[in-house]
């Protein structure tokens, strides 16, 4: 199994631009989590989905952030417009619904907004 695949690995963008981060789940997994990692705040849960349905998006910092699961194996996290304070490493993780605690992480996308 290839594991959770995220793209791009690195993204540098100018303030005000739209950024889209992509994630492919491990085959058969039906829970999907987006986390953000910063030095100050550590790993924060932004949003999670079960069976393609968003369950809790209370961690999404602002309306500028949105996430979708157009199908069972793929998710996107979009930031529009981006701001310098959005600079962080964004991880997605997936798991089986029945074992939602045992999450497998992708390698992350390092976002820099200048």
- Site residues, other proteins (CB under 8 A): 4, 31, 33, 41-43, 45, 48, 56, 91, 93, 100-108
Nearest Cα residue to 75 out of 102, 62, 57, 100: 57
* Choice between 37 and 81, CB closer to other proteins: 37
DSSP-assigned letter for residue 28:
T
Half-sphere exposure of 108 (CA within 13 A, CB side): 12
Q: How far is CA 71 from the centre of its chain?
A: 15
Nearest Cα residue to 8 out of 20, 26, 16, 25: 20
Q: Are 67 and 74 in contact (CB under 8 A)?
A: no
């Amino acid at each position: 199994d290839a594991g959770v695949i995220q793209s791009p690995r690195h993204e540098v963008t100018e303030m005000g631009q739209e950024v889209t981060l992509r994630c492919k789940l491990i085959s058969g997994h039906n829970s999907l989590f987006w986390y953000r990692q910063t030095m100050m705040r550590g790993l924060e849960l932004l949003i999670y989905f079960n069976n393609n349905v968003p369950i809790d998006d209370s961690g999404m910092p602002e309306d500028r952030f949105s996430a979708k699961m157009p199908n069972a194996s793929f998710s996107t996290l979009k930031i529009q417009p981006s701001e310098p304070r959005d600079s962080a490493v964004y991880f997605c993780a997936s798991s089986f619904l029945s074992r939602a605690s045992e999450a497998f992480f992708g390698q992350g996308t390092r976002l820099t907004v200048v």
